Amino acid sequence: MAKTIVSSVAPETQHTPGYRSSTRLDARGRVLIMHIQAQDLVALRAASNSFLRFVSASLRAIEVVAPFYRTRRV
């Protein structure tokens, strides 16, 4: 599941000029690791809040579609 979340949130990690923070996500097994570097505390707070919401939205989406994959016969 961590790899799925990383791949869904990865486009948001693209560094754009003008941003005061950069974020990198890694998946190690079932663990999601988020690395945030920011120029100041405000940028750190904004980046962490944004990425926690992205991850939360990804988890909710997975929970919605997961039952359909569990009952599917291959």
Read off the pLDDT of each residue in 7-18 and give the average, rounded to a whole number: 82
Give which of 41, 45, 42, 55 is closest to 12, Cα–Cα: 55
**Under 8 Å between Cβ of 33 and 27:** yes
pTM attached to this predicted model: 0.76
Alpha carbon distance 56, 43 (integer Å): 20
Give per-residue pLDDT as tens, 31-68: 999 999 999 999 999 999 999 999 999 989 988 887 78
pLDDT at res. 73: 59
Instruction: Point out which residues pair with 21 in neighbouring strands.
Output: 38
Alpha carbon distance 2, 17 (integer Å): 28
**Under 8 Å between Cβ of 36 and 48:** yes
pLDDT at res. 68: 80
Give me the residue spans of the domains in the chain: 2-70
